[in-house]
Amino acid sequence: MRTVTLAGFLSLILIGCSATVEPPAPVRLHLAGSSSMQVLLEQLSDAYTARYNWVTIDIDPRGSQLGLEALREGTVDMALISRELGPAEDRGLVGTVIAFDAIAIVANDQNPVGELTVEQLRGIFSGRILTWSEVGGEESDIQVVSRENGSGTRASFEQLVMGQEEVTTMAVVVPSDDAVGRFVREDPSSIGYASAAGLPLGTKALSIGGVDPSLQAEAEGDYPLIRPFVLVTREDGDDAVRSFLDFVLGPAGQAIVGQRYVRVRQA
């Protein structure tokens, strides 16, 4: 057995005390995509960077399709898409669902109509139903508000509601959920669609088939207009990307998700 003298022991302590730990190298992650996911990703990023203060995360809400294109070009580390990743889009990419969100049908809060069916929605957004009186409201024309091409929210809405029909060319096209809310708040005759989380004052979410887009109804699968929030990464994503994704799917990240959205993993 090796014997260590007191002097040797003290010298080992001094050596250990004098050793310095190198701080982690700064890391910057660039995320781009769905504007509907912006608020949630900002909350997740703030929690992550508070824990790992050498990491900086930039979020660019440029739309789902443009986010995917930027990821393929290598200018961002992750794409945010508020729809499913299509089978023709997954070559070299991996989509991970981090939450589920309800698409609310948004009307002005002065509108007496409080409920529609999916069939009535399809008729309104295709332009076959032109006045509110046709669905139990007042005698006034309906102004349809839609999202732009490339929007994940639009793609999900069309998949869930429109079937083989297209959104009317008479629709006002706006670039974000916030823009939908602002337009509907200012125009009592209008109707649009947006994430159910955080609708602005002056608007309301219509019931669909008698079901409101509440968090409980979303979690139980009773509300019909549910879409995923997806983080898309390259198959060869680095450790920093995987670490952030692990955090989002872990208990702390999913606790943040569960405040306004449906978790993909329970605590």
Tell me the CA distances in angstroms from 126 to 117, 158, 170, one per residue in order: 14, 10, 9
Predicted local distance difference test score (pLDDT) of residue 5? 53
Query: Is residue 28 within 8 Å of residue 56, measured between CB atoms?
Result: yes
With H, G, I as helix, E, B as strand and everything else as coil, classify residue 62. coil
Q: How far is CA 41 from the centre of its chain?
A: 8
Instruction: Give the orientation angle of helix 239-249 with respect to helix 38-51, to 10 degrees.
Output: 110
Give dist(CA 167, CA 126) in Å, integer.
5
Instruction: Map residue 61 onto helix, strand or coil.
Output: coil
To the nearest 10°, the Cα dihedral for 156, 158, 160, 161?
150
Give the pLDDT score at 267.
67
How far is the C-alpha of 193 from the C-alpha of 178, rounded, in Å? 11
C-alpha dist (Å) from residue 49 to 35, 120, 134, 185: 21, 45, 51, 35
94, 98, 85, 79: which is closest to 40 by C-alpha? 98
For residue 45, which amino acid is it? S
Instruction: State how far the alpha carbon of 135 is from the alpha carbons of 103, 109, 120, 132, 140, in Å.
Output: 20, 16, 7, 6, 11
pTM over 0.85: yes
pLDDT at 83: 96
Region for residue 254 given its phi and psi (left: phi exceeds 0; alpha: psi -120 to 50; beta: otherwise): alpha
> What's the confidence (pLDDT) of residue 8?
52
Q: Which token pair is 221?
A: 């699968």
Indicate if 102-219 has the same CATH topology as 26-100+228-257: yes
| Domain 26-100+228-257 belongs in CATH node 3.40.190.10 | yes
CA distance 221 to 100: 11
Are the C-beta atoms of 174 and 180 separated by less than 8 Å?
yes
CATH superfamily entry for domain 102-219: Periplasmic binding protein-like II (3.40.190.10)
Residues of the chain with pLDDT under 50: 1-4, 6, 9-10, 12
Domain limits of the chain?
Answer: 26-100+228-257, 102-219
